[in-house]
Amino acid sequence: MFLRMQKQLKKRKFLFFPLYLVLGFFAFAPYISSVVSFFIFIPFFYYLFQESKLKNVVKVSIYSGFGFFLINSFWIYRFTITGIFLLALYLMLYWVLSGLFFYYFKDKKYFFFYFPLFWTILEIIRGMTRFGFSWSEIGYSVSQFLFFSNIAYIGGVHLLTYLLVLINLLIAYYFFINKKIYLKKTFIIFFISLALGITIYFVKKSKTSNDIKVSVIQPSIDLFAKWDNDFINTVMDKYYKLAMRVEKDSNLVIWPETAFVNGLLNYRVDRNTMKKILMNQKSDAKHLVGTTLYKGNKNYNSLFLIDEEGNYDYYSKKMLVPFAEFLPFEKYTKFLMDIYPIQYLLSRGENYKVFKMGNIKFSGLICFESIFPHFLHNFIKKGAKFVVVSTNDGWYIDTLAPFQHLQFARMRAIEQNRYFVQCANSGISAFIDNKGRIYKKLGENKAAIIEDKVFLIEKKSIYYFLKDYYWIFFILMSIILFLKESRIKRKE
């Protein structure tokens, strides 16, 4: 069946586009993503093994990459339709680069080391700089498979990506050359990885003597009502009623991203509602509130930590969504605002703020920021003992984005050995332990609060110390192997 499918794909190369629309969707879908991740690249890699014409390699890389990223960029449609296609076209280039590398290096002796490494380095690059966009990295697809994904405690999500690409590559080569030795190698790699992940899972301690009680408010406010002045009092009344349900032993109350969208510092109705909540709440909890901050002629997406006396500290979002919250190379892309106006452009925050509650330090990430492993290092370095993700995934209801966003938080929890609390306007809100386990959750479109303990972990993960610098060692190793192979060939 697989070989018949490959024959059709070779004749009709454009079929790689719909194929990877489908596979790209299921690679990050609930329940089945962990299974799909172990064979998703096999059709693509098999084709590259047998193709001898460069132009066909480029074509298939374009079809496959564009399909894969188009379906996984669909969730930004409420911000910009044009941006979906521009983003998918940009991300597709990484598959084209991988296809070119495959074409020129597939006959090398150490290809099965080179290629997964090259793919992984591209993924690392894809998440770097202010234009970074790490969404849809294949390593995240196994976040539900905790016995496997806990390997990220050592090497982060990129190590998972390397292993998955290697496994797919070996299986594809088995179909291409029909030698069972490559299936045996696949099983060996899989079971060694699994054994390592299981060991980490059971050795890691997830409870300590230090904890705090955290309350998460998920108001499930209609996104357009929140911006409508005619409904603002109804929204504020709902906020107040939910806040009054917080238990008296709560230490911290978390609100979703831009819950108070008009600005606590700038808008009287928002400010008075929060004052009323702080005065009448059962507990003496502090509130971490998502709000808009206006400073000068700049707009910021911010989190404010507020106590009963009105004292506050704040953090403003640093990592913004390309083509949705800011325009890359704005001088050349400003015309896009005329084609399909972006709702509003944001300015970047200026520092890596770690909030303090007495002796307790924690960090707050806003929406998109939880997808960057290197970004979180900065907060852990400053002493954050647990992490909050405040988001408004209501923009993406009826897509897989809320589920996928939760998987990023689970992966970050494993990588950094920290508890995570995700608070979303319309779901999915959740408490996640340092093993990536969800121990309390509130689904989509439910207005409610959830409360539980969050344990404060002191120990840092191996990945925290290694960061992604360990990949430099493998790059150097690949260069040495390549030079050695080239020297031997010259002698022959």
Tens-place pLDDT, residues 433-480: 999 999 999 988 899 999 999 999 999 999 999 999 999 999 999 999
* Higher pLDDT, residue 263 or 77: 263
- Segment 421-433, tens digit of pLDDT: 999 998 799 999 9
Is 246 inside any structural domain? yes
pTM for the complete prediction? 0.90
Domain-located, residue 465: no
What does the pLDDT read at residue 88? 87
Residues 378 and 330 in one domain: yes
* Distance, CA of 386 to CA of 365 (rounded, Å): 11
Instruction: Tell me: do 352 and 446 sit in the same domain.
Output: yes
- Asked whether residue 198 falls in the same domain as residue 285, the answer is no
Burial of 56 (0-12, 13-18, 19+ CB in 10 A): middle
* Token duo for residue 119: 């793919």
Residue 491 domain flag:
no
Q: Are residues 369 and 456 in the same domain?
A: yes
Nearest to 375 by CA among 275, 263, 251, 468: 468
- Tell me the pLDDT tens digit for each residue of 304-363: 999 888 888 989 888 777 666 666 655 555 555 555 555 567 777 788 899 999 889 999
Say yes or no: 185 and 218 in one domain. no
Are 293 and 438 in a shared domain?
A: yes
Same domain flag for 172 and 240? no
Q: How buried is residue 111: exposed, middle or buried, by Cβ count under 10 Å (0-12/13-18/19+)?
A: middle
Give the Cα separation of 34 and 152 in Å (integer).
15
Residue 152 in domain: yes
Q: Which of 203, 220, 247 is the last residue of a domain?
A: 203
Residue 233 covered by a domain: yes
Higher pLDDT, 216 or 399: 216
d(CA 193, CA 199): 10
pLDDT of residue 438: 95
> Are both 178 and 216 inside the same structural domain?
no
- pLDDT tier, 389 (very low <50, low <70, confident <90, very high otherwise): very high
Give me the pLDDT at residue 431, please: 97
Look at residue 70 and give its three-state secondary structure: helix
Distance CA 221, CA 272 (A): 19
Range of the domain at 18: 2-203
Residues 183 and 229 in one domain: no
The answer to whether residues 242 and 329 belong to one domain is yes
- Please tell me whether residues 263 and 138 are part of one structural domain: no
More confident residue, 72 or 228: 72
| Domain-embedded: residue 492 | no
The CATH number of whichever domain residue 443 belongs to comes to 3.60.110.10
* Assigned domain for 478 exists: no
- Are residues 142 and 241 both part of a single domain? no
Please give the tally of structural domains in the chain: 2
pLDDT reported for residue 456: 94
Domain's final residue, options 161, 182, 203: 203
End of a domain among 179, 203, 227?
A: 203
Cα separation of 457 and 413, whole Å? Answer: 11
Q: What would the pLDDT profile of 173-203 be if each residue is shown by its tens digit?
A: 999 998 999 999 999 999 999 999 999 999 9
- Residue 467 included in any domain: no
